[in-house]
């Protein structure tokens, strides 16, 4: 597997978090919680994670990553009091941030990639690169940054790409690379990926994604089935080819091509 860190294309990339001004505030300034709401307290996230574990979240790594990211920093100030409830929330431009239990479920599936379970004895972040299609507000990218070596996250809507950049700036996550681009094309310079995760669902899994998946890697994405219903799909890349598993019904925003 190619373990070299890919170079960043100027045309696609925005400023990676690591090049943010050194004097950026330690805490994000956006969507600050009104004082006294207690959202800054880790107890709020602990409660959310406990609920997710009770609902079936099995990976301790994923639970730890979810504990670390302040979800209320990614939603509009009018919605901060709902940030830790098990609900999807609007993030602008007709898009939504997924419910915490859907984020947890998908990450739980992703970290079970064979290439990763083989490396699971190591502490800290899992080795390898991951591609997220649909940055949205940047919340899941932040969670991924605590799980994986490098995170490439693509968004087709400029407004959300910029919002995610603003939301993430103060977290100073040097391993998150935000890309303005059509995620249906993947991002070949970061390939191969040990994990690919999509936050938007199409009628098929694009071949570019499976092409860009590493051997032993896993893709987790919503995909519309023959009955017209969207379901969560897992694709594993093995020596014997691609193995697809269709899981429970889900409701994600549509995967669309091109930039807007
Ligand atoms: N993970 C996000 C959820 C975003 S919702 C979060 O934590 O907030 C899904 C996102 O996928 C939307 O922002 C939508 O614009 C984006 N999207 C849809 N089709 C896309 C494509 N082809 N390439 C990149 N992003 C896409």
- Quote the ligand 1 centre to 211 CA distance (angstroms): 20
The answer to whether residue 161 scores a pLDDT higher than 90 is yes
Q: Point out which residues pair with 232 in neighbouring strands.
A: 222
79-108 pLDDT, tens per residue? Answer: 999 999 999 999 999 999 999 999 999 999
Residues 189, 4 contacting (CB under 8 angstroms): no
Least confident of 12-21, 97-106, 183-192, 244-253: 12-21
Residue with CA at minimum distance from ligand 1 atom 23: 183
**Which residue would you say has higher pLDDT here, 19 or 156?**
156
CA dihedral (119, 110, 58, 27) positive or negative: positive
214-226 pLDDT, tens per residue? Answer: 999 999 999 999 9
Query: What residues are annotated to the active site?
Result: 98
* 136 touches ligand 1 (CB under 6 Å): yes
In sequence order, what are the residues at sequence separation of 6 or more whose Cβ sits closer than 8 angstroms to the Cβ of residue 174?
16, 17, 18
Rounded mean pLDDT, 41-47? 93
- Quote the ligand 1 centre to 38 CA distance (angstroms): 29
**pLDDT at residue 18, rounded to an integer:** 38
Average pLDDT over the chain, rounded to an integer: 88
Residues 104, 65 contacting (CB under 8 angstroms): no
**Angle value at C-alpha 72, between 53 and 170, nearest 5 degrees:** 115
Cα radius of gyration rounded to whole Å, the chain: 17
193-198 and 213-224 beta bridge pairing: parallel
126-133 and 176-180 beta bridge pairing: unpaired
Domains of the chain: 102-254 (3.40.50.150)
The answer to whether residue 176 scores a pLDDT higher than 50 is yes
Mutate to test the pocket of ligand 1, among 135, 137, 166, 257 (most ligand atoms within 8 A of CB): 135
The answer to whether residue 23 scores a pLDDT higher than 70 is no
């Amino acid at each position: 597997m190619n373990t070299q860190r890919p170079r960043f294309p100027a045309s696609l990339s925005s400023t990676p978090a690591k090049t943010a001004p050194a004097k950026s505030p330690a805490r994000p300034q956006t969507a600050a919680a009104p004082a006294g709401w207690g959202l800054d307290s880790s107890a709020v996230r602990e409660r959310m994670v406990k609920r997710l574990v009770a609902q079936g979240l099995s990976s301790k790594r994923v639970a730890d990553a979810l504990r670390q990211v302040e979800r209320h920093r990614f939603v509009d100030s009018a919605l901060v009091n709902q940030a830790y409830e098990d609900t999807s929330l609007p993030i602008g431009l007709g898009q939504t941030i997924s419910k915490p239990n859907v984020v947890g479920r998908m990450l739980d599936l992703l970290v079970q990639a064979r290439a990763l379970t083989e490396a699971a004895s190591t502490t800290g972040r899992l080795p390898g690169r991951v591609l997220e299609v649909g940055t949205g507000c940047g919340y899941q990218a932040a969670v991924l940054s605590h799980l994986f070596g490098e995170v490439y996250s693509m968004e087709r809507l400029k407004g959300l790409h910029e919002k995610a950049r603003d939301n993430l700036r103060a977290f100073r996550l040097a391993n998150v690379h935000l890309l303005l681009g059509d995620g249906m094309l993947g991002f070949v310079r970061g390939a191969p990926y040990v994990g690919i995760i999509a936050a938007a669902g199409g009628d098929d899994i694009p071949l570019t994604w499976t092409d860009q998946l590493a051997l032993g890697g896993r893709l987790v994405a919503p995909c519309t089935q023959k009955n017209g219903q969207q379901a969560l799909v897992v694709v594993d890349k093995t020596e014997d080819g691609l193995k697809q598993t269709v899981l429970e019904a889900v409701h994600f925003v549509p995967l669309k091509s091109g930039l807007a």
